[in-house]
Amino acid sequence: MVLVRSLFVPGPTNVPDTVRKAIDVPMEDHRAPDLPNFILPLFEDLKKVFKTKTGQVFLFPASGTGGWEASMSNTLNPGDKVLAARFGQFSHLWINLCERLGLEVQIVECEWGTGVPLEIFGEILAADKTHSIKAVLATQNETATGVKSDIANLRVVMDEAKHPAMLYVDGVSSIASVDFQMDKWGVDLAVSGSQKGFMLPAGLAIMAASKKALEASKKVTMRRCYFDFKDMIATNATGYFPYTPPMTLLRGLRASLDRIFDEGLENVFERHSFLAEGVRRAVSAWGLNLCAKSPQWYSDTVTAIVVPDGRDANDVIKHAYNRYGLSLGAGLSVVAGKVFRIGHLGDLNELMLMSAISGAEMAMRDVGILEVKPGSGVAAAQEFYRIEGQALPK
Ligand SMILES: *Cc1c(COP(=O)(O)O)cnc(C)c1O
């Protein structure tokens, strides 16, 4: 029986001990007179992570999906048109949510393994002379396929088309792990969740809205109650919430932000990119392909690995779990059975990742993927981490 389990799904991620201890506190009074001393700095510090000075941060008791719903329902009207590309399970689910909320989604179908098609978006926006498109949706990191999209240049494309649509970014598996610049990129709604880069249990939708989005929220007719920005803004202003906040998660969030700032936000990004490259070296040494079609799409928080034709990636995943206690991410929907994923975001270092690479390698050989040579991926990652790591900040 496997007693020790290791978690390499791309969320939930490992919760560091300091964060776990911060969560393990007696229940407290969420209307205490001194609570604002704790809450108000949390909002200020989250703005640093989103890189926004003018935006407003929201913390809803929800997962990332709740953050999507809050974003759409606070800022758009039923029937409004939004532009989105579908290239993985998460971009798909976001589109699905929009449709179920009564929005009209102009969908650009893209090959899974690619990301936001900037040129096509540019053409669509330039052709939309009446500005019927109210929002452009972009998944910064498509967790299902290990694909990152270029949000900075999406903003450039929108500006070049002189289109006034708002820009909504799903950063659930990227914010706090890779660079995100809300103000500079002109992002109007940014959504994240607690259980990925923020290294917390699931339960907080962590999001931010621009001034433009807040202005729009004053006029919209879509219904919402629990997720209403207005109630949040009014109570957050004094350091409270409109309903009982998950205080333990907020205590954990404090510890998580402290850890991120101790390491340095930019160092956190660099670590993620470094760890990701080691995983890609291993995959290449295995002789396998990534789901991401080319380097421009490579994600620094999750790698989706395509198993050889005729093999079932779920066999690898099941065996890795049962035999080695290793949780790998499954392929979802269109890529189910074709890929397995190694999540490499949050509280990780080289040695932890070596265990995942080694475990995946053993599991693949165990289920008969013998073209993967023993030690090949491990050696490639080792050498990369050992040699390239010398240049990392101490
Ligand atoms: C995990 C994830 C979500 C969904 O978040 P939940 O917290 O499971 O609701 C949405 N988008 C992306 C890109 C994700 O990785």
Does the CB atom of residue 201 touch ligand 1 within 6 A? no
Does the CB atom of residue 329 touch ligand 1 within 6 A? no
The Cα 236–Cα 234 span in angstroms is 6
Pocket test for ligand 1, best of 72, 90, 94 (most atoms within 8 A of CB): 90
pTM above 0.85, yes or no: yes
The Cα 339–Cα 29 span in angstroms is 46
Residue 139: beta bridge partners?
170
Does the CB atom of residue 65 touch ligand 1 within 6 A? yes
* Residue nearest (by alpha carbon) to ligand 1 atom 4: 64
Q: Do residues 386 and 351 touch, judged by C-beta distance below 8 A?
A: no
Gap from CA of 235 to ligand 1 centroid (Å): 27
Does the CB atom of residue 90 touch ligand 1 within 6 A? yes
Full pLDDT tens readout for the chain, 394 residues: 677 899 999 999 999 999 999 999 999 999 999 999 999 999 999 999 999 999 999 999 999 999 999 999 999 999 999 999 999 999 999 999 999 999 999 999 999 999 999 999 999 999 999 999 999 999 999 999 999 999 999 999 999 999 999 999 999 999 999 999 999 999 999 999 999 999 999 999 999 999 999 999 999 999 999 999 999 999 999 999 999 999 999 999 999 999 999 999 999 999 999 999 999 999 999 999 999 999 999 999 999 999 999 999 999 999 999 999 999 999 999 999 999 999 999 999 999 999 999 999 999 999 999 999 999 999 999 999 999 988 876 6
Residue 364 neighbours by CB distance under 10 Å: 26
The per-residue DSSP string of 168-232 comes to EEE-TTTBTTB---TTTTT-SEEEEETTTTT-S-S-EEEEEE-HHHHHHHTT-----STT-HHHH
Gap from CA of 177 to ligand 1 centroid (Å): 14
Does the CB atom of residue 170 touch ligand 1 within 6 A? yes
Gap from CA of 365 to ligand 1 centroid (Å): 31
CA-closest candidate to residue 178, choices 267, 63, 84: 267
Gap from CA of 346 to ligand 1 centroid (Å): 15
Residue 304: beta bridge partners?
341
Q: Which token pair is 239? A: 């350091």
**Which helix (H) or strand (E) covers residue 252, if one does?**
helix 247-263
Residue 325 neighbours by CB distance under 10 Å: 15
* Helices and strands: H and E segment counts in the chain: 13, 14
Pocket test for ligand 1, best of 169, 170, 178 (most atoms within 8 A of CB): 170
Q: Do residues 58 and 70 touch, judged by C-beta distance below 8 A?
A: yes
* Residue nearest (by alpha carbon) to ligand 1 atom 6: 64
Gap from CA of 202 to ligand 1 centroid (Å): 10
Gap from CA of 11 to ligand 1 centroid (Å): 8
